Amino acid sequence: MATAPKEAENPIGLEEIHVERQEPPKGQKTFTVEEAVETIGFGKFHIVLFLIMGSTGVAEAMEIMLIAVVSPLIRCEWQLQDWQVALVTTMVFFGYMIFSIVLGLLADRYGRWKILLLSFLWAAYFSLLTSFAPSYIWFVFLRAMVGGGVSGHAQGLIIKTEFLPTKYRGYMLPLSQVFWLAGSLLIIGLASVVNPTIGWRWLIRIASIPGMLLILVFKFIPESARYNISMGNMAAALATLQRIAKMNRAVMPEGVLREPAKERRGRFKDLIHPKYLRTTLQIWIIW
C-alpha cells in the first residue's frame, strides 16, 4: 500500500506506517540500520538530539535531587522522625526500580517514543500533585509515582545511543552526564531562593517546569528505527534514516533496508553466566 510522502516525513507518525515484510531480490544491495547510521555519520541531527535528550537529564536530576532539599522542611511541617524522612527517598527509588522494568517491557512492545512521552507526562503530573500533598502518606505515595515516571526517561538514552555512530558513543554518552550535574546544581540553587521565600510546595512546582517544556519538543524525537524494523515497519525506519541523512546533509547507503540477522534475545541468567559475571558485579557495585 502506497504511503503519502507527507505522512512519511512526520516524526510522530512514523511508528504508524505498517508494511508487510518483504525479502529483497537476490543479488540486490542491502544495508541495516547500524550500517546506515555509520554511513550517515555525525551531524546537526545528533547535536540537536543530544541537547534534547541531555535536557531530560536535567529534568530527571531535579526530580530525584528534590527530596534532598525538601526533606528538612517536611520534617518540620509534619513532625517526622528520621526513618520517615529516609522512607521518602527509599520510595522514590522503589518506584523507579519497579516501573523501570514495567516501562522497559512496554517499550519493547509499543515503542520507545511512546513510552518516553508517557514517562514525561506521568512524572510531571505526579510531581505537580506532590506540591498539593495534604499529608505525609500522600507525599510518599506521590513521590514514589514520580520515581516510576522518571524511570521511563531511560528510553531517551536508548534512542540517543541507537542513532550515534559507534566512534562517537565513547565520549558523547559520558558527556551527557553533564546535564545531570547541571540539574542537581539548578535544584540546589533554586531551593536556596525559593524555600525561604515562597516555600517547598512552589519549589516542586517550579522543578516540574523543565519536564513539561521538553514535551513541547518531542515532535523532533524520532521513534527507534530498530524498533520499527522489529515490528515490520520498514518504511517507517527508512523514513527516519532519510530524515537524519537530510538534516546531516549526508548520503544514504546504496541498496534496500533489511532486517539484521536474527539473534537470540538476552535472558536474565546471562548476567550471571561465568563469561559476564565479573562485569555484571562490577556494574552493579558502581551503580
Name the DSSP class of 21.
Answer: -
CB 155 within 8 A of CB 119: yes
Per the prediction, the chain carries an average pLDDT of 86
Q: Of 157-161, 192-196, 258-262, which range is least confident?
A: 258-262
Q: Which three cell numbers stand for residue 196?
A: 525561604
pLDDT given at position 22: 54
Confidence of residue 126 (pLDDT cuts 50, 70, 90): very high
CB atoms within 10 A of CB 204: 25
pLDDT given at position 20: 46
pLDDT given at position 7: 41
Q: Which three cell numbers stand for residue 182?
A: 547541571
| CA 192 to chain centroid | 29
CB 6 within 8 A of CB 224: no
Distance CA 211, CA 62 (A): 9
Q: Which of 29, 25, 9 is nearest to 17 (CA)?
A: 9
Confidence of residue 271 (pLDDT cuts 50, 70, 90): confident
pLDDT digit string, tens, across residues 225-259: 989 988 888 899 999 999 999 999 998 988 888 87
**CB-based burial label for 211 (10 Å; 0-12, 13-18, 19+):** buried
Distance CA 159, CA 166 (A): 14
Q: Are strands 256-257 and 30-31 parallel, antiparallel or unpaired?
A: parallel
Distance CA 46, CA 248 (A): 8
Is the pLDDT confidence value at 218 over 80? yes
pLDDT digit string, tens, across residues 12-42: 333 344 444 555 556 678 888 888 999 999 9
Distance CA 80, CA 241 (A): 54
Residues 6+ positions from 118 with CB-CB distance below 8 Å: 103, 152
Q: Of 3-7, 122-126, 245-249, 276-280, which range is least confident?
A: 3-7
pLDDT given at position 258: 81
pLDDT digit string, tens, across residues 146-190: 999 999 988 888 898 889 998 888 888 888 889 989 999 999 999
The amino acid occupying position 85 is V
pLDDT given at position 19: 41
pLDDT given at position 5: 45
For residue 31, what are the β-bridge partners?
257
CB atoms within 10 A of CB 173: 14
In order of their start, the domains of the chain are: 33-276 (1.20.1250.20)
Q: Which three cell numbers stand for residue 50?
A: 543530544
Length of the chain: 287
